[in-house]
Amino acid sequence: MDLNVADIMPTGQLTVDATDRRVLAAIQGGLPLVARPYAEIATRTGLSEAEVIDRLGRLLESGVIRRLGVVVRHHEVGYGANAMVVWDVPDDEVRALGRCLAGFDFITLCYQRPRRLPQWRYNLYCMIHGRDRDEVLAHLEWMVKRCGLQGLPHSVLFSRRRFKQRGAAYFAGTDNGSS
Amino acid sequence: MDPLDRAIVNRLQDGFPVSERPYAEVAAELGTNEEELMRRIDALLAGGTLTRFGPMYHAERMGGALTLAAMQVPEHDFERVAVLVNAHPEVAHNYAREHTFNMWFVLATETPREIDRVIDAIERETGYRVYDMPKLEEFFVGLRFPV
């Protein structure tokens, strides 16, 4: 069975109402560090604690919020190297190969993106993180073997420098909350 | 980071409860107490180990837009362009990478139309083409780093 990701995860944006957006905006900058954080969000949004909890539960279930929790600064926790590896894969094989790549625990993101010919031929992207470059390259070699990617054109774009790492701001006036 | 810090970072990358006393719940799992857990999270944020403690949104499902954009910038002009690009609040991350496509950044906006507006502005300001590489299909978003 070959289900499209878009088919099995219908967009939930129609279910996000104005009150939801108020709650989303209120937590965008981070959860309050108090014993009852959702009671504080409730005070800020003029709702009850129970309603905040109910709405956040639904927003998590529908995938509007991918997850609540922490985002680590990966460099600071020992992941010193990251590479964006891009592949030029026949269009009818992208899905199968993308799923294969997505199965490794050292892969943090995996997407199909458009080619921009003639300058850019690649259509399958994945991010590999590792302690250092050698570890990233070892991961890559393993992936190539396991997913049968030998011979497919690819490019390894190690990061040289990070200029900015913050969450994206979806609600004006605050600076946070991203995927 | 001591073992409790590590346990907290690992546990909270998997999610945070939506309940009346979420810190107490997680603290009990980790063998600590509510107050200590909050203090540790605060310190990990202040020390820069964590960038955020809160929601990770699915941009498109909120009606927002997210894209990856790339530029080919000559080395001698790279700093100038980086300053111009990073000045846009819609730029969420920006990485220099080893390739002729050497600048890669994520744009996040409240509406899809604004992506085009920001790309146009960056092209005008810098004089270089911005390649929009939106996702066509997502196979995996994990972004989990065991520590």
Domain with residue B69: its CATH number is: 3.30.70.3460
Domain A74-158's class? alpha beta
Q: Where do the domains of chain A lie?
A: 13-61, 74-158
* Closest B-chain CA to A49: B20
Q: Which residues of A touch B55 (CB under 8 A)?
A: 24, 27-28, 65-68, 177
From CA B17, how far away is CA A56, in angstroms rounded? 10
Q: Is residue B99 part of a domain?
A: yes
From CA A83, how far away is CA B24, in angstroms rounded? 38
A82-86, A169-173, B28-32, B72-76: which range is least confident on average? A169-173
Provide the 8-state DSSP code for B102: -
* Closest B-chain CA to A159: B97
From CA A40, how far away is CA A52, in angstroms rounded? 10
Closest Cα of chain A to B49: distance in Å? Answer: 5
From CA B85, how far away is CA B81, in angstroms rounded? 6
Q: State which residues form the domain around B18.
A: 3-46
Contact B64 A170 (CB under 8 A): yes
Q: Choose which CATH entry (1.10.260, 1.10.10, 1.10.101, 1.10.1740) describes domain A13-61.
A: 1.10.10
Contact between B49 and B6 (Cβ < 8 Å) = no
Q: Which residues of A touch B57 (CB under 8 A)?
A: 24, 64-66, 168, 170, 177-179
- Return the structure tokens found at B72: 């080919």
Residues B42 and B102 in one domain: no
Q: What is the pLDDT of residues B91-124, one digit of tens each?
A: 988 999 999 999 999 999 988 899 999 999 999 9
Contact between B25 and B17 (Cβ < 8 Å) = yes
Asked if the C-beta of A96 comes within 8 angstroms of chain B's C-beta atoms, the answer is no
Q: Number of residue pairs across A and B with CB atoms under 8 Å? A: 269
Q: Which residues of A touch B60 (CB under 8 A)?
A: 11, 13
Q: Which residue type, as a one-letter code, is found at position B134?
A: P
What SS3 state is found at A150?
A: coil
Strand partners for A82 = A129
CA nearest A10: which of B61, B58, B134, B135?
B61
Q: Is the dihedral of CA B34, A41, A71, B16 positive or negative?
A: positive
From CA A43, how far away is CA A34, in angstroms rounded? 13
Out of B24, B52, B89, the one facing A70 most closely (by C-beta) is B52
Q: Is the dihedral of CA B108, B38, B24, A39 positive or negative?
A: negative
pLDDT averaged over every residue in chain A: 86
From CA A167, how far away is CA A176, in angstroms rounded? 4
**Is residue B67 scored above 60 in pLDDT?**
yes
Q: Which residues of B touch A73 (CB under 8 A)?
A: 48-51
Out of A57, A65, A158, the one facing B55 most closely (by C-beta) is A65
Residues B70 and B120 in one domain: yes
From CA A56, how far away is CA B41, in angstroms rounded? 21
Higher pLDDT, A169 or B39: B39
A12-26, A73-87, A147-161, B13-27: which range is least confident on average? A12-26
ipTM over 0.95: no
Contact A72 B147 (CB under 8 A): yes
Map tokens 């009990």 to a residue: B28
**Is residue B77 scored above 70 in pLDDT?**
yes
Reading phi first (left if > 0) and then psi (alpha if -120 to 50, else beta), residue B106 is in beta
